[in-house]
Amino acid sequence: MHRNYDVAKSALLWIAVLFLLSATVSAIGVSPIRKVVDFEPNGEYDLELKIRSSAESDIRALVYARGELSEYIGIQDSLVSISQGEESKIARYKLTLPESFERPGVHKSELVVTEYPSSFGTDDGTIVSATASVVTELWVRVLYPGKYAEAQLYSDAKNPGEPVQFAISVMNFGSQDIAKAHARIKILGATYEEIAVIETNEVSIPSKQQKKLTASWPAQVNPGKYHVVAEIIYDDKRLVVEDDVTVGDLYIDIKRIDVKDFTLGDVAAFDIFLESKWNEQIDDVYGEMIITDAQGTEYTRFKTATTSIPAMGLGVLKAYWDTEGILVGNYDIRLLIHYAQRVTEKIVQAEVNIGSIRTDLGITAQVVASPTTGRESVLTVLVAVLILINLGWFIYFVRSKRGGSTK
């Protein structure tokens, strides 16, 4: 009985920890997530951040700076009190920049907001520990001398034959204006062969400003992953950015299933013919077969060895079914082909005779399975189940204790 009581106490402790963790995550927030300041020699900036609270009690928030710029940051509201029911409070700080920095580019620091109970900062001698911290970034952007640009390439995935839209965001981080900027975009295949070359529009970009270059590609290609190389030409300078674009979905089709030289009672050898619709080789492909009769009784399930299927190519998996004790009749085979966190599934009707097995391919479906999402979902369910079980144990022991005390 003592052991069970300890289990109940442990369960309650875990439940309390779970609730505290959920409260810690959601109790405090800060905005903006990032503040960007363009450098001016000896510049002074009065800045602020908003601290949000969803706590069910009064709290205090300690604000401090850390990182490269911390010596230039003065916190005016270093300790902020937020009463229960108040949604937010403003914390002010001042940025005082030097005459110059040794290097151009972005200089970064963080402003840390740490949540404490409302008793923090009093002189009652109580030891108080922090419950949560959030961070906002402060960037100071120092221009490069002359003309200097940085770029980011964006694209939207499409199906084969549909136009893919490209956008290149070009930011002028130089001290001089850019008179003309445009880009030449190359589309490369799986072996880096050139598929297409397209040109963007042309723009001028003043210093400290950003403009977009756009282009469209009809994507008259097979499904697959394509490499994109964008060369940005701005006045007398060049800049290259690269990315991948995916056209269509990675997919393996089940073409047919053959069983040759079969005699009932022996081992049936299945040849499962597959076709890749992808422009890169797919490795670690394997199959799983689940065989049931017309009443839904499962006879057996087994997996095949793994294989690789070349780009836009064919592959064969071998599967074996020991039919000893199996009767002549109709069976359902649930065939699952596993590859690249995906599953192609077919329900196959199999007619088993004394000297043959005839198969008929039914409906095909594809499931995209994300291991990360799956683990998170399973973890969530397990936590919920454990909480319910522990609550049940707790109620049981409380009732048992009360019942024992009345005797």
Q: How many Cα neighbours within 13 Å face the side chain of 248?
A: 18
**Which pLDDT score, from 0 to 100, does residue 182 have?**
97
**Which pLDDT score, from 0 to 100, does residue 360 have?**
85
User: Are 250 and 276 spatial neighbours (Cβ–Cβ below 8 Å)?
Assistant: no
Q: How many Cα neighbours within 13 Å face the side chain of 325?
A: 3
**Which pLDDT score, from 0 to 100, does residue 386 have?**
57
Q: ω before 310 within 30° of 0 (cis)?
A: no
**Which pLDDT score, from 0 to 100, does residue 238 have?**
96
Mean pLDDT per 10-residue section of the chain, whose length is 407 residues: 48 45 59 91 95 82 94 94 86 96 93 79 54 89 94 85 90 94 94 93 94 92 92 96 89 91 92 92 94 79 93 93 90 92 88 91 54 44 57 60 51
**Which pLDDT score, from 0 to 100, does residue 395 have?**
63
Question: 381 CB contacts (<8 Å, ≥6 apart)?
Answer: none
**Which pLDDT score, from 0 to 100, does residue 84 have?**
80
pTM: predicted TM-score of the whole model, two decimal places: 0.62
Structure tokens at 252: 């393996």
Q: How many whole angstroms separate alpha carbon 184 and alpha carbon 197?
A: 7
Long-range pairs for 241-245 at CB < 8 Å and ≥24 separation? Answer: 241/151, 241/152, 241/153, 241/168, 242/153, 243/153, 243/155, 245/155, 245/157, 245/164, 245/187
